Amino acid sequence: MISRSVRLVQNLYQVLGVTTHATFDAIRKAYRYKAKSAHPDQGGSKEAWERLQLAYTVLSDPNQRKEYDRSGEIPDQDAVKPEEERRVKVLHLINRLIRETLLAEGRDILALDIPKEMIKGLGETRQKIEAQITRCNKLEKRAIITLLRWKKKTEGENFVVTFTQTVIDDLRKDLHTLAKEEEILKAAEELLKDYEFTFDKPKPAEPYAAQALSKQDLDEAMMQMIRQSRFGQR
């Protein structure tokens, strides 16, 4: 649980060392960089570690970040249990994979290295998600640059900026969702690595036994080739 003193942090952006316009990717990179030295096992203090965790939890979640930017107040974290939630999702994913494998038709599952096959499939899905994350990161950066270039000539609400910010918020939601999915896939892969399945290995192919030919057989074969050659020349 986050202590009350940590809740009173004034600026979560400063904790991570990023600007208020930082992209989701920049926030994640900043967190990973600071986590190396802030962790208590690496000489950091417990309070500094909790402060870093709080900053990342709020700013990496588009809904919490939007509320923090609007009010300047840190959303209540008592009801948030990310680790337990992630564990449930990982187990649900593996349960679905096992069910799909057992109910699949047209494949001899007893001859499959099931954990290896599952890990391979998870890896392929994760690569697709990583590609989507890369795309969303580029779009978010472009949208932020666009946001900073809009200027309204007269006073009043800047609808263009509002609409652009909506696009940025939507991209951040997509990035947050994709990052969570990527974490689930990685966790499922690690969990499956702890299992092995005794599968039926394919029987080795029997070597081709060439039939020995006698001298008479070789002579007859040679004569046959000569006759065919002469016939072809006529």
What pLDDT is stored for residue 197 in this prediction? 93
What pLDDT is stored for residue 95 in this prediction? 94
In angstroms and rounded to an integer, the radius of gyration of the C-alpha atoms of the chain is: 31
State the Cα torsion 12-139-185-48 to the nearest 10°: -10
What pLDDT is stored for residue 173 in this prediction? 94
Q: For the chain, which ranges sit under pLDDT 50? A: 1-8
Gap between the Cα atoms of 200 and 185, Å rounded: 27
Contact by Cβ (8 Å): 52, 13: no
What pLDDT is stored for residue 42 in this prediction? 76
Kindly list the domain boundaries of the chain, sorted by start residue. 4-71, 82-192
**DSSP designation for 195:** -
Gap between the Cα atoms of 91 and 192, Å rounded: 10
SS3 sequence of 90-154: HHHHHHHHHHHHHHCCCCCHHHCCHHHHHHHHHHHHHHHHHHHHHHHHHHHHHHHHHHHHCCCCC
What pLDDT is stored for residue 82 in this prediction? 67
What pLDDT is stored for residue 134 in this prediction? 96
Gap between the Cα atoms of 146 and 81, Å rounded: 36
**Options 1.10.287.110, 3.30.360.10, 1.10.3720.10, 3.50.50.60; which CATH number does 4-71 get?**
1.10.287.110
* Cα 193 to Cα 129, 176, 188, distances in angstroms: 21, 26, 9
